[in-house]
Amino acid sequence: MASTLLRRALLSARLIHPSATFPPQTSQILSSLSTVQKRLLFNGTVKTYTVHNPKTTGWIRCMAFSAEAKSTRSVSTNEPVVSVDWLYDNLKDPYVKVLDASWYMPDEQRNPIQEYQVAHIPGALFFDVDGISDQTTKLPHMLPSEEAFAAAVSALGIENKDDLVVYDGKGLFSAARVWWMFRVFGHNRIWVLDGGLPRWRASGYDVESSASSDAILKASAASEAIEKVYHGQAVGPITFQTKFQPHLVWTLDQVKRNVEEKSHQHIDARSQARFDGAAPEPRKGIRSGHVPGSKCIPFPQVQHIVMSILL
């Protein structure tokens, strides 16, 4: 009977909250729910009501869930962003993991891991853009190998079944880089937080002022896993399987060939001064100027326009 009632409740989108008191057989049924059903249970809109219990002398307070389309499974992977309101509603979903991917240019003199420890979205993990990179080159944060990326992401506790939301401290900057990295390695269920941490805080949502020891250990473990892979050492269990998507990244040879063939338009997102070679590069040893035939669309200006709209 309980099984029939529960099935009817699920089909009619009226779900009993799992923290309520149930008869033993109903609890057993709840524990056997599928992943999708559990997502609905934890992501629905709570509604309370009072019903009479014929086996007792009084009334009992119950909770029901209306299975509105709040689960991350209802968010299209074709949409690159989610709102801060959406994240707030889904923050406690055990299948949603949040990544702080803050990174800053060297001349800004800002430390992303320190800023993460001071304030971050509750439960967020720190993704080290510089650390999770190709260790065989002196160039900064180049794309790591599949094996290295899988090892680092697994050390963070991320699995292929997870839905990821990534943000940064500027609002819209390095988070997009990490969004792209995951998609390059075959994980499409990732979204950038619209407006990032500035929008989250401006909306009045809480931040954590200190990182848990577990979060810091995971960030360190991810960097260590990368180094082990490039040194041919064994790493911990791999929970994230990669599937490289070559169409999402160009090699240097492809760029050189396109300079001659001009089949695609190269876009340079740096400032106009750096593009023109009038301003020095913020990294030592990098020549000024731009790739022949490229056009300049300065990201700082685009970012300013976007953030003005968002905030």
Question: Per residue in 68-99, pLDDT tens?
Answer: 444 555 677 788 999 999 999 999 999 999 99
**Residue 252, pLDDT score:** 93
Class of domain 81-245: alpha beta
Judge whether 81-245 and 252-309 match in fold: yes
| Residue 11 pLDDT class (50, 70, 90 cuts) | very low
Residues, the chain, total? 311
| Torsion on CA atoms 137, 132, 289, 258, rounded to nearest 10 | 80
Confidence at residue 284, expressed as pLDDT on a 0 to 100 scale:
80
Average pLDDT over all residues of the chain: 80
- Looking at CATH, the fold of the domain delimited by 252-309 is given as Oxidized Rhodanese; domain 1 (3.40.250)
The model's confidence at residue 213, banded by pLDDT at 50, 70 and 90, is confident
Positive or negative, the CA dihedral 142, 145, 148, 150 is positive
Rg over alpha carbons for the chain, rounded to the nearest Å, is: 24
Indicate the Cα dihedral angle 130, 134, 136, 141, nearest 10°: -40
Q: Tell me the pTM.
A: 0.74
Q: Which residues of 27-55 are buried (b: 16+ CB within 10 A; e: fewer)?
A: eebbeebeeeebbbbbbbeeeeeeeeeee
Is residue 210 pLDDT above 80, yes or no? Answer: no
Q: Confidence class of residue 61 from pLDDT cuts 50, 70 and 90?
A: very low
* Pairing assessment for the beta strands 14-16 and 59-66 based on DSSP bridges: antiparallel
Read off the pLDDT band of 201 (50, 70, 90).
very high
Give the closest residue to 152 by CA, choosing from 27, 238, 245, 36: 238
CA gap 57, 33 in Å, rounded: 31
Mean pLDDT score, 35-41? 41
Domain boundaries, the chain: 81-245, 252-309
Could you tell me the pLDDT band of residue 306, with boundaries at 50, 70 and 90?
Answer: low
pLDDT per residue as tens digits for the range 226-258: 999 999 999 999 999 999 999 999 999 999 999
Q: What percent of the chain has pLDDT over 90?
A: 60
Whether the pLDDT of residue 8 is over 60: the answer is no
In tens, the pLDDT along 99-140 reads 999 999 888 889 999 999 999 999 999 999 999 999 999 888
**Cα–Cα nearest to 75, from 92, 87, 88:** 87
Which pLDDT score is estimated for 4?
Answer: 41
Using alpha carbons only, what angle is made at residue 253 by residues 80 and 229, rounded to the nearest 5 degrees? 70
| Most confident region among 63-67, 272-276, 296-300 by mean pLDDT | 272-276
| Residue that is written with structure tokens 């086996």 in the block | 55
**199 CB contacts (<8 Å, ≥6 apart)?**
84, 171, 193, 310, 311
